[in-house]
């Protein structure tokens, strides 16, 4: 656990990296070249045209252009945890167990968790030696006094960060979420290169935001149209002058790239872990150090 400001440069997960998952991809029947699809029919993708016969939806040419045949409508339940959105979650009866071989990564982030137990194992290759393991209860209660300890409700831990994982070309990870009496869910599962940006300073802020709005009809009646929520983050960090160019290049390369930005891995500061678009500036006002000012626009 550290108080280091960092960013998880994501690894793009492909179907070839999946070894197994207990979340079946059976939301809709698989596409068949012998079936004629009508408008609105789904075969993982959604048909945009009538008489849709023998147009493979996995072929990008059938999903683009002035008259596309298919729409990449939404992730399947299996892929919801990997679609780059916290709001869409993979949800199944316990346990949710995912095994994949993504190759190089040194960190991971789990968000939107709804489970009682988390178990993670990373091996240097499929069937190889264990290089990282974690097993723990997803309990986030931090009572401030004895009254809260005995009488306050338990608070679930809804996110998790792992860092310092040794990198191997064929690294394999097994993730398991379980619960004794309820379904489990994972809103985000991201692997990647966890890069430090500096030492987080006091004054970091998290700002919840809503995409809801107030609709007023012609009679002046009000209705709150509720939408999903997110949070923004601002933080500053100090870093050595000889690290500034590398940090600046990292941030420049990640402009317009949704990432997980981590103010600290400490569990009590979950508010300072945000998925979104980051922008920053570096102040070169000191002979040996630089100050980084980071702003993250949270996404859902």
**pLDDT tens digits in sequence order for the chain, 300 residues long:** 456 899 999 999 998 999 999 999 888 888 999 999 999 999 989 999 999 999 999 899 999 999 999 998 888 999 999 988 888 899 999 999 999 999 999 999 999 999 999 999 999 999 999 999 999 999 877 766 666 666 667 788 999 999 999 999 999 999 999 999 899 999 999 999 999 999 999 999 999 998 888 888 888 889 888 888 899 999 999 999 999 999 999 999 999 999 999 999 988 899 999 999 999 999 999 899 999 999 999 998
Distances (CA, A) of 135 to 117, 132, 138: 8, 11, 10
DSSP-based three-state secondary structure for 13: coil
Q: Which contiguous run of DSSP H or E holds residue 184?
A: strand 184-186
Predicted TM-score (pTM) of this structure:
0.88
Q: Which residues contact 146 (CB under 8 A, 6 or more apart)?
A: none
> Which is the CATH superfamily of the domain at 4-21+78-298?
Galactose-binding domain-like (2.60.120.260)
Q: Give the C-alpha separation, 41 to 50, whole Å.
A: 9
Q: Give the C-alpha separation, 128 to 122, whole Å.
A: 9
């Amino acid at each position: 656990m550290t108080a280091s400001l960092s960013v998880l440069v994501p690894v793009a997960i492909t179907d070839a990296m999946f070894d197994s998952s207990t979340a079946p991809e059976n939301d809709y029947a698989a596409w068949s070249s012998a079936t004629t699809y009508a408008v609105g029919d789904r075969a993982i993708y959604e048909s945009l045209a009538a008489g849709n016969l023998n147009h493979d939806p996995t072929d990008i040419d059938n999903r683009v252009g002035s008259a596309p045949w298919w729409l990449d409508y939404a992730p399947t339940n299996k892929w919801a945890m990997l679609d780059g959105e916290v709001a869409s979650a993979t949800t199944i009866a316990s346990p949710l167990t995912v095994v994949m071989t993504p190759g190089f990564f040194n960190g991971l982030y789990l968000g939107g968790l709804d489970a009682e137990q988390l178990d993670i194992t990373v091996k240097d290759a499929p069937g190889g030696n264990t290089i990282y393991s974690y097993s723990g209860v997803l309990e986030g209660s931090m009572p401030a006094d004895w009254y809260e300890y005995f009488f306050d409700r338990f608070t679930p831990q809804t996110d998790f960060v792992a860092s310092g994982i040794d990198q191997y070309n064929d690294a394999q990870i097994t993730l398991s979420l379980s619960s004794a009496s309820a379904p489990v869910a994972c809103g985000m599962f991201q692997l990647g290169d966890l890069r430090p940006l500096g030492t987080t300073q006091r004054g970091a802020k998290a700002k919840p935001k809503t995409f809801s709005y107030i609709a007023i009809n012609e009679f002046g009646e009000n209705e709150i149209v509720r939408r999903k929520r997110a949070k923004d983050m601002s933080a500053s960090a100090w870093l050595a002058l000889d690290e500034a160019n590398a940090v600046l290049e990292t941030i420049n390369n990640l402009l317009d790239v949704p990432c997980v930005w981590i103010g600290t891995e400490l569990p009590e500061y979950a508010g300072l872990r945000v998925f979104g678009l980051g922008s920053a500036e570096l102040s070169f006002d000191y002979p040996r150090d630089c100050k980084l000012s980071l702003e993250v626009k949270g996404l859902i």
